[in-house]
Amino acid sequence: MKKFNIPNHYRSPIIGRIKEIRQENDPRKKDFSPTVLDYGAVRFHIARHFGFCFGVENAIEISYKAVEENPDKRIFLLSQMIHNPNVNYDLQNKGIRFIMDTHGNQLIDWDEIQTEDIIIIPAFGTTLEVLDLLKKKGVATKKYDTTCPFVTRVWKRADQLGKQHYTIIIHGKHNHEETRATYSYSKKNAPSLIIKDMNEAIMLSDFILGNRPVSEFEEAFKGKYNKNFNPKKDLECIGVINQTTMLASETLAISNYLKVVMKKKYGVEDLKKHMANTRDTLCYATNENQDSTYRLLDVDADLAIVVGGYNSSNTSHLVELCEKKLPTYLISNASEVLNESEILHFDFENKKILQTKNFLPKKEVVDILLTSGASCPDTIVENVLNKLLRFYPTSKSTEEVLETL
């Protein structure tokens, strides 16, 4: 796989060495069991795959190149480069300004953008409407387009489905940058509808099977389908794609469920005509991170620490998996580990920061699961590990532990 030129302050000697050892021992990536760092008083069980993915490293490399190549020009990002506050803060310190926030709200008026300005498209991609606006202003966008190739792959699949006369069902969060971009591309060639989860898939099935009046469709999916969407006609033939950072298991479950629904309505013989055989569109990194988390959860541990941005979709799903089994704390950096008794962490369900006491159990050996989202620098994970180690002064040295791997 391509090696990217990203700043050294994102790389970690400890985490980097762990990943190198795993790669050397398992080059085909068949072993998803965690790496165990046994310090004696505390054991860290580190996910097989975590941290920067291909798309993130590509985006960072291009963004820093834009700064280096244009010292005398104004440089703008359409929105957050990725969903990690540390990386976005670094880019802002380089002089890059954000035109929109993560929800699409305008921070800088389009009238301020000039033809000679440098515009960076984030890893999530952007909508056709924004590209058209920039084109009319004469602003070039191709050179510093950091759209993840796995996202563009989904767009191409949507294009294929549209040309085959399928309505596109997008499994995603309708206000997420990537889903907004995917929806923009899909609705160009086909009726398109966004559903968030299995509950909305079940609600959709009521309309497909005629168990719910079409008159209620607008209220049920308000703001999640394109203009002129006709539930009576446009739900006869469907295909499922997704936001690449959603839970793979949920996308598969939704697709299988809707397949059963279409079979119930149209029968087995006509099923292929009414339900496209779409392969999962989740990116390789999301798949690997989630599969690694499932294996991580085979460990009998005391707690899990997930490191990443609070608004990171792929990180949120790692938390979702972990918290089903054991106490789980999402933190953005080591400073949120206040001391050996208290930790600040983000509550996804209620969208607020919590302060929890006695998060580390008092026992002879503490087992901690550790992983991070695809947009989190390895250095931040290393800082978290080192911060936790301070609370166990009798622990072995990291050098000594790494030698046992």
- Do 79 and 93 fall into the same domain? yes
In whole angstroms, what is the distance from residue 377 CA to residue 84 CA? 9
What is the structure's pLDDT at 286? Answer: 85
Among 57, 178, 288, 336, the active-site one is 178
Over 90: is that where the pLDDT of 358 sits?
yes
With respect to residue 279, please indicate whether it lies within any of the assigned structural domains.
no
- Do 71 and 33 fall into the same domain? no
For residues 3 and 274, the model is more confident at: 274
Domain that holds residue 33: 8-53+284-402
What is the structure's pLDDT at 222? Answer: 96
Percentage of the chain with pLDDT > 90? Answer: 93
Over 90: is that where the pLDDT of 310 sits?
yes
- Do 106 and 177 fall into the same domain? no
In whole angstroms, what is the distance from residue 340 CA to residue 329 CA? 14
- Do 226 and 314 fall into the same domain? no
What is the structure's pLDDT at 360? Answer: 98
Q: In CATH, what number is assigned to the domain containing residue 97?
A: 3.40.50.11270
Is 403 catalytic? The answer is: no
pLDDT, tens digit (0-9, with 9 covering 90-100), for 258-297: 999 999 999 999 999 999 988 767 788 888 999 999 999 9
- Do 173 and 228 fall into the same domain? yes
- Do 96 and 36 fall into the same domain? no
Over 80: is that where the pLDDT of 19 sits?
yes
**pTM of the full structure:** 0.92
- Do 290 and 381 fall into the same domain? yes
pLDDT, tens digit (0-9, with 9 covering 90-100), for 120-141: 999 999 999 999 999 999 999 9
Over 70: is that where the pLDDT of 1 sits?
no
Angle at 185 between CA 154 and CA 284, to 5 degrees: 15
With respect to residue 3, please indicate whether it lies within any of the assigned structural domains.
no
Of 274, 292, 317, the one marking the end of a domain is 274
With respect to residue 388, please indicate whether it lies within any of the assigned structural domains.
yes
Residue 248 pLDDT level (bands cut at 50, 70, 90): confident
With respect to residue 75, please indicate whether it lies within any of the assigned structural domains.
yes
What is the structure's pLDDT at 284? Answer: 80
With respect to residue 228, please indicate whether it lies within any of the assigned structural domains.
yes
What's the whole-number mean pLDDT along residues 216-220?
Answer: 96
Over 70: is that where the pLDDT of 303 sits?
yes
Residues in the chain: 405
With respect to residue 142, please indicate whether it lies within any of the assigned structural domains.
no
- Do 58 and 31 fall into the same domain? no
Give burial (CB, 10 Å; 0-12/13-18/19+) of 195: buried
* Count: domains in the chain: 3
What is the structure's pLDDT at 280? Answer: 62
Instruction: Retrieve residue 76's tokens.
Output: 């703008």
Residue 227 CB neighbours (<10 A): 6
Of 73, 104, 136, the one marking the end of a domain is 136
In whole angstroms, what is the distance from residue 329 CA to residue 118 CA? 38
With respect to residue 220, please indicate whether it lies within any of the assigned structural domains.
yes
pLDDT, tens digit (0-9, with 9 covering 90-100), for 33-81: 999 999 999 999 999 999 999 999 999 999 999 999 999 999 999 999 8
Of 255, 274, 293, the one marking the end of a domain is 274
For the chain, give the secondary structure using H, E and C.
CCCCCCCHHHCCHHHHHHHHHHHHHCCCCCCCCCEEEECCCEEEEECCCCCCCHHHHHHHHHHHHHHHHCCCCCEEECCCCCCCHHHHHHHHHCCCEECECCCCCECCCHHHCCCCCEEEECCCCCCHHHHHHHHHCCCCCCCCECCCHHHHHHHHHHHHHHHCCCEEEEECCCCCHHHHHHHHHHHHHCCEEEECCHHHHHHHHHHHCCCCCHHHHHHHCCCCECCCCCHHHHCCCEEEEECCCCCHHHHHHHHHHHHHHHHHHHCCCCHHHHECCCCCCCCHHHHHHHHHHHHHCCCCCCEEEEECCCCCHHHHHHHHHHHCCCCEEEECCHHHECCCCEEEEEECCCCEEEEEECCCCCCCCEEEEEEECCCCCHHHHHHHHHHHHCCCCCCCCHHHHHCCC
- Do 293 and 385 fall into the same domain? yes
- Do 130 and 185 fall into the same domain? no
In whole angstroms, what is the distance from residue 284 CA to residue 14 CA? 24
- Do 224 and 259 fall into the same domain? yes
Percentage of the chain with pLDDT > 70? Answer: 100
With respect to residue 91, please indicate whether it lies within any of the assigned structural domains.
yes
What is the structure's pLDDT at 164? Answer: 95
- Do 155 and 266 fall into the same domain? yes
Q: In CATH, what number is assigned to the domain containing residue 298?
A: 3.40.1010.20
